[in-house]
Structure 1
Amino acid sequence: MSTENAPNAESTEGAESAAHAGNAADVDPVREWRHWHEQRTATVSAPYGPLSLTGTHWLADHPDGSIPDIPGRWVEAPDAVVLTARPEDRLTVDGEPLTGEVRLGADSGPAAAARVAHGERRLVVIHREGLWAVRDFDPGAATRHAFKGIDATAYDERWAVPGRFTPYAESRSVRVGNADGKERDLGLGGELSFRLGGVEHTLQVSVEADGSLWAVFADATSGTSSYRFRFLRPAAPDAEGRTTVDFNRALLPPCAFADHFICPFPPPGNTLVTEVAAGERSLLGH
C-alpha cells in the first residue's frame, strides 16, 4: 500500500520517521517528547527532507517527455519510466553517468537514495493509480532555507489516552480530496476509538505494513490555530486491539512543508469537534 494516500505516500515522506516507537510508558514523557520534536525538526529540514521538494511532474502532462528544468527525456510505459539522456544532460543513475536509455521503476526508499541525480538534486520516480511522475528534490530550495522551525505545543499528558482498534472484516477505500485538488483512493483498515475530554471519538485509520496505524484528521483548531489537517501515527495495537492515542505527536503533513505533495484530506467522520491543541500545529512564521 502506498504511503501518500492511505498510507499512500505522503504519510511517510519526510514525516514517516515520526511514529511513536511503542506503547510502553516513557520514563520521562516530557523529555522523550522533546527528543521526538528535535528529531522531527532535523528530519524535515534535512537536505532531502520535504522542504527540499520543488516539483511533482506528472508525465501524462508532458507527452513529449520533456520536463521543464529537468534534463533528459522521460516517457512513461505501463510498467516503468523510460529515461533517455545525453552526456550534456549530466544525469547519473546509481551513481554512474547516464548516456542512452534506462528503465526505472518507482523509488521505494528516501529521496536521498533515489537512483537518478542531477548534481545535488535527486529525481524521484513515483507511481500513483497507474500514473507516473518525477519529483525534484533540491537541497538549495528556497523553502528549506527559509524554514524557521515547527510550532508545536509542549507535551501534556491529557492528550495521551488509551485507544482501541477494531479492524474491518475487509479493507476498504474511500475517495477523498487531495492537496493538489484531485480525488484519490484512501485505504482504510479499521476504526480507532478513544475518549478525549470526556467525549467518545472514532477515527477511520489505515494499517501500515508494520502493523502501526495512520490517521488523517482535522479538529476544531484546523485552519485557525493549527494547519488545516494533520496526521496521527499510533503504534501497532496489541492482540486485544489496545494502543495509545497520543495527540502530543500529531504531525503536520508533508504538504505543510512544500506545495508539491499530494496529501489526502481527512475521510468522512475524521473531523473531531474537540479542539486538539496539541502536537505540531503549524510552521513557525506562518
Structure 2
Amino acid sequence: MSAEIMVFQEIGPLVTSCIDGYHVCIFAYGQTGSGKTYTMEGSVENPGINQRALKHLFNEIEERKDMWSYTVNVSSVEIYNELLRDLLSKDGEKLDIKINPDGTGQLHVPGLRVTEVKGFQHIKKVLAKARRNRITFGTKMNQHSSRSHALLCITVHGTDLANGSKTTGKLNLVDLAGSERVWKSGAEGERLKEAQNINRSLLALGDVIQALRGNQTHIPFRNSRLTYLLQDSLGKGNKTAMVVQVSALETNVGETLCSLKFAQKVCRVELGPAARKIESGAAQCD
C-alpha cells in the first residue's frame, strides 16, 4: 500500500464528517520544499489529498442519493502578504473578511467567487484554475516555492429527503506556505517580505493552537487573515487534522525539529465533541 493511500485512510472519515454536517480543517504544514503542495495536489498519476478527498465526497453523495439531496459549493483563495486573493477570479481579485450583517456573528468574504459543482470532473477543472493562479517564486530552498497559503473551501448543504432536515458542512483543505529561516533561503527584497509575512502568520496559527490547547477563553483568531478566515472551522466543536512534512536531508535537521515540535503541540489539542450544524440550530455530538 502506498504512503499516499495510507495517509488518506486517516483523512477519509473527516471528509465524510463534512457531508454529515461538521466543519473540518485539513492542513499541510512544514518547511519550504518539504512536499506540502505535492501532498495536497499530487500529480496526474498520483493524486494528492485534495483530489482524493473530493472524489471520496462525491462517491459518498452518490451512495446516499436515495436518502439525501446535496449541493456542493467551492471557493479557493490564497493569503499572500496578508492579502486575500480569489484564485477563481480572472485577475486574482483582492478581497476582505467581514462580519455578516445578519447578526449571527458569522464571517463572510464579499465578492468571493463561489462555484456550485455537480461532480468530480467539474471540480477538477476548478482545482486546475486555482493552481494556475497561485503565486510561486524560487528560493535557494525550493525552485518553485509557494509564497502564499492556499485554501480550498468546500461547503456541502444536505437535505434529508425523509424528514426535510438540513445540514451544512464545511471542508477546508489548506496548503500552508513553507516556514523558512530567512538566512538559509536567501530571501531578499520582495521574497524577504513574503517570508516575514509567512512566518508571522504561521506564528499566529501556533498561538491559536496554544490557546486552544490551554482551553483559554480568548482565542486570538484575528491576529492573521489565515486564522480569522478559518475560525468557524478551527475552534471547539470542529474537526482538524494536520499533515506535517519533514525533509530527509541532514542539512535541514533544524527545520525538521521545529516542525516536529509544532506537530507535538497540535497533537495535544483537544477540541471536545464535534458539533453537527443543522438548520434547527440544535447541536448533535458524535
Q: TM-score range by the shorter chain?
A: under 0.3
Structure having the higher helix fraction is 2
Q: If the length of structure 1 is used for normalisation, what is the TM-score?
A: 0.23
Larger Rg: 1
Task: Give the structure, 1 or 2, with the largest relative contact order (CA under 8 Å, sep 6 or more).
Answer: 2
Higher strand share: 1
